């Protein structure tokens, strides 16, 4: 797209906003800073602080920067560059993010959702590096994803593609806020794992102890900790979540035949207890695809996936 060597990658989440100065040729972060999002202070305050953050991170390189890419927790409107997310960014409804930054910095700006940014980051410099076809799935409070097809991020109509968390897998499963029931997110995201643990843990169970004896305080993280300490129930709850992820992935493999499947998100910190049933289920259910040629792996970039992917979004004009 451009000659200059630097772009800015921005990652906006419910808790923190990060900006990074990215060396485009070397595909590496040169400078990075994170500030609290504090969305409730209002979008005007947030945009101003984000602009100041970009200025600090860019520092002397500002004249050499060719664009700003932003990954943001959705819903976002990638066509208009506006954020519509009062759910995890309280008060941020219809916020003209790219307009603001383009006016302030006189630079081209791209907005993608955070799952797409992470997919692009893993594809560019992470676990999917060098492939042409990749499925990215992030499992945390929700489940999102992105598909790289023929070396490009697949966007779909309205740039809204890849709501992999809302593949409806269990017709008798729990109702989902999207209107369907038994969506993958309702079966395998962090809150679903916690809910299973809450329903099954006995009064003297380790998961409950780790939550300070308060059932309402149980999270997927404690289930992961209990599993690591050998707790059989925690391991079974995670194995079950892995089965659902495997069922969803098997369908995606049948449809898209990727070379690499990259699994990210906080829930994957318990990968030791999820991966065995994920692999077993995919193998049993995606028998028509060349399983031995598909690599299913954990995300490699950690916290850098968002800013690197946002940088890649502006570099490849994928917005």
Q: Report in angstroms how near the CB of residue 192 gets to Zn ion at its nearest.
A: 12
Considering only 4, 62, 176, 195, the residue that binds Zn ion (CB under 5 A) is 176
Backbone φ, ψ for residue 14 (5° rounding): -65, -30
Report the alpha-carbon distance of residue 19 to residue 70 in Å, rounded. 9
DSSP secondary structure, 49-91, as one string: HHHHHHHHHHGGGGGGEEEEEEEESSPEETTTTEEE-TTTSTT
- Residue 38: strand, helix, or coil: coil
Does residue 272 touch Zn ion according to CB under 5 A?
no
Q: Is 241 in the site for Zn ion (CB under 5 A)?
A: no
Q: Of 163 and 231, which has the nearer Cβ to Zn ion? A: 163
Nearer Cβ to Zn ion, position 159 or 169?
169
Site pattern 133..172 for Zn ion (x: CB under 5 A): ---------------------------------x------
Kindly state the smallest distance separating residue 74's Cβ from Zn ion, in Å: 14
Nearer to Zn ion by C-beta: 61 or 84? 84
With respect to Zn ion, which residue has the nearer C-beta, 178 or 232?
A: 178
Q: What is the pattern of x (binds Zn ion, CB under 5 A) and - over residues 96-115?
A: --------------------
Roughly what angle, to the nearest 10 degrees, separates helices 304-315 and 114-125?
Answer: 90
Sheet holding 134-139, edge to edge: 152-153, 143-149, 134-139, 260-264, 295-298
Nearer to Zn ion, 249 or 310 (CB): 249
Q: Which is nearer to Zn ion, 95 or 188 (CB)?
A: 188
Token pair of 57 as six digits:
């991170």
Name beta bridge partners: 65.
Answer: 6
Peptide bond into 75 cis (omega under 30): yes
Q: Which is nearer to Zn ion, 166 or 271 (CB)?
A: 166
Closest CA relative to residue 218, chosen from 247, 235, 196: 196
Q: Contact with Zn ion (CB under 5 A): which of 178, 255, 272, 287?
A: 178
Distance CA 284, CA 116 (A): 28
Calpha distance 227→97 (Å, rounded) = 42
Task: Identify which range of 26-34, 81-89, 151-159, 181-189 contacts Zn ion by CB under 5 A.
Answer: 181-189
Residue 174 as a binder of Zn ion (CB under 5 A): the answer is no
Question: Among 143, 183, 301, 310, which residue sits at the site for Zn ion (rule: CB under 5 A)?
Answer: 183
| Distance of alpha carbon 55 from alpha carbon 47, whole angstroms | 12
Q: How many residues sit in the footprint of Zn ion (CB under 5 A)?
A: 5
Q: How far is the CB of 114 from Zn ion (least distance, A)?
A: 18
Give the nearer residue to Zn ion in terms of CB position, either 155 or 166: 166
Residue 41 C-beta: closest distance to Zn ion, Å: 31
- Residues 69, 25 contacting (CB under 8 angstroms): no
Q: Which two tokens stand for residue 163?
A: 């709501």
Residues that bind Zn ion (CB under 5 A): 166, 176, 178, 180, 183
């Amino acid at each position: 797209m451009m000659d200059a060597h630097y772009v800015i990658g921005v990652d906006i989440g419910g808790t923190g906003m990060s900006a990074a100065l990215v060396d485009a040729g070397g595909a590496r972060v040169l400078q990075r800073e994170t500030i609290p999002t504090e969305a409730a202070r209002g979008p005007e305050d947030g945009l101003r602080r984000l602009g100041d953050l970009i200025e600090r991170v860019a520092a002397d390189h500002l004249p050499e920067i060719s664009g700003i890419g932003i990954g943001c927790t959705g819903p976002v409107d990638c066509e208009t560059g506006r954020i519509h997310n009062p759910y995890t960014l309280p008060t941020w409804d219809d916020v003209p993010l790219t307009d603001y930054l383009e006016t302030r910095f006189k630079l081209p700006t791209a907005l993608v959702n955070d799952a797409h940014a992470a997919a692009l980051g893993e594809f560019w410099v992470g676990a999917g590096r060098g492939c042409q076809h990749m499925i990215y799935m992030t499992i945390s409070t929700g489940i999102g994803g992105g598909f790289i097809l023929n070396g490009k991020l697949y966007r779909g109509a309205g740039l809204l593609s890849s709501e992999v968390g809302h593949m409806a897998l269990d017709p008798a499963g729990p109702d989902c806020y999207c209107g369907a029931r038994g969506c993958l997110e309702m079966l395998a995201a962090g809150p679903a794992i916690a809910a299973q643990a809450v329903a099954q843990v006995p009064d003297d169970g380790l998961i409950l102890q780790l939550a300070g004896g308060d059932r309402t305080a149980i999270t997927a993280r404690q289930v992961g900790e209990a599993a690591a300490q050998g707790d059989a129930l925690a391991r079974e709850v995670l194995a079950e979540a892995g089965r659902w992820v495997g069922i969803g992935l098997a369908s995606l493999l049948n449809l898209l035949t990727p070379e690499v499947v990259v699994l990210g998100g906080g829930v994957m910190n318990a990968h030791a207890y999820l991966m065995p049933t994920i692999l077993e289920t995919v193998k049993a259910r995606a028998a028509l695809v060349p399983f031995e040629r598909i690599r299913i792996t954990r995300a490699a970039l950690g916290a850098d996936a968002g800013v690197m992917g946002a940088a890649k979004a502006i570099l490849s004009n994928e917005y």
